[in-house]
Amino acid sequence: MSVYTKYHVSQDQPRVELHDNLSLTGAEVSVNALPAGGSVPFAHAHKQNEEIYCVTSGRGKAIIDGETIELVAGDWLRVAPEGRRQFFAAEDEGLSYICIQVKANSLEGYTMTDGIIC
């Protein structure tokens, strides 16, 4: 049995959830692309999961609990589970981002505290 899974995301896919494609066991990751003037068609929150967003290209905004946060390529954004969020691309430019969803307060170790030098 292999210790890794590889999956290719095509540039023409507006949204891809990688949980099943990569057999993820501790997170959900999605790759998202909104066209210029486009938006996620609904606001949402979560019961347990925080989300970490990485803007990979373009510009836009997120509205979180009524507050507008401007977004550009290179920005990282973390939203607590209860934060009501919705994303919008700029009128003249698309917005592409990666969303990492994990259970809030579940991380017990990271980097050197979880790493093993082989």
Angle at 16 between CA 13 and CA 18, to 5 degrees: 145
pLDDT tens sequence across 2-35:
899 999 999 888 999 999 999 999 999 999 999 9
pLDDT of residue 12: 87
Residues paired with 54 in a beta bridge:
76, 98
- Tokens in use for 37? 């003037």
pLDDT tens sequence across 54-99:
999 999 999 999 999 999 999 999 999 999 999 999 999 999 999 9
